[in-house]
Amino acid sequence: MAALIDTNLLVYLFDPADETKQAKAREVLDELHLYQAGRLSVQCLAEFFNVTTRGRQPLMNPAMALEQVERFQGLYPVFPLTVPIILEAGRGVRDHQLAYYDAQLWAAAHLHQLTLLLSEDFQSGRVIEGVRFVNPFAADFRLTDWL
């Protein structure tokens, strides 16, 4: 089984503001790599670059962020953004009342037949058309329970 990794796991890896989430992100991403179970979408890599380089005190400069994007794409398979994903995301908005970019993430998982999406941004445990949203930062989360 494989899991789609949401942007927040990638960002927390470099965010010293919450040491607990930073440690958990490192643990989960290391396990996903070890089990070759992690997948990314182009959307998540773009969001990572944007989030980590913006604001008054960015987490990293653009060169560092670009280096990390290259590293992530070497560690995990990356799904491209395609017209079918955009159309499926639109259906996710229409049929499941998801916000568009959340729906786009769901669509990438759904169309690539992944049954697990790891994110703190969705209702943990919710299942939409076979894709289960799980919060990897929940106190009782263990990746091996899902693989």
40 is a domain residue? yes
Strands 116-118 and 3-5: parallel
Contact in structure between 79 and 108 (CB atoms under 8 Å): yes
Domain of 67, in residue numbers? 3-140
85 is a domain residue? yes
Contact in structure between 122 and 133 (CB atoms under 8 Å): yes
132 is a domain residue? yes
146 is a domain residue? no
145 is a domain residue? no
Number of Cβ within 10 Å of residue 74's Cβ equals 8
Contact in structure between 87 and 61 (CB atoms under 8 Å): no
pLDDT in tens, 15-69: 999 999 999 999 999 999 999 999 999 999 999 999 999 999 999 999 999 999 9
The secondary structure of 3-51 as a DSSP string is EEEPHHHHHHTT-TT-HHHHHHHHHHHHHHHHTT-EEEEHHHHHHHHHH
pTM: 0.93
Q: Work out how many domains the chain is built from and give that number.
A: 1
pLDDT in tens, 87-130: 999 999 999 999 999 999 999 999 999 999 999 988 888 999 99
pLDDT above 90: residue 70: yes
34 is a domain residue? yes
- Domain containing 8 — which CATH number? 3.40.50.1010
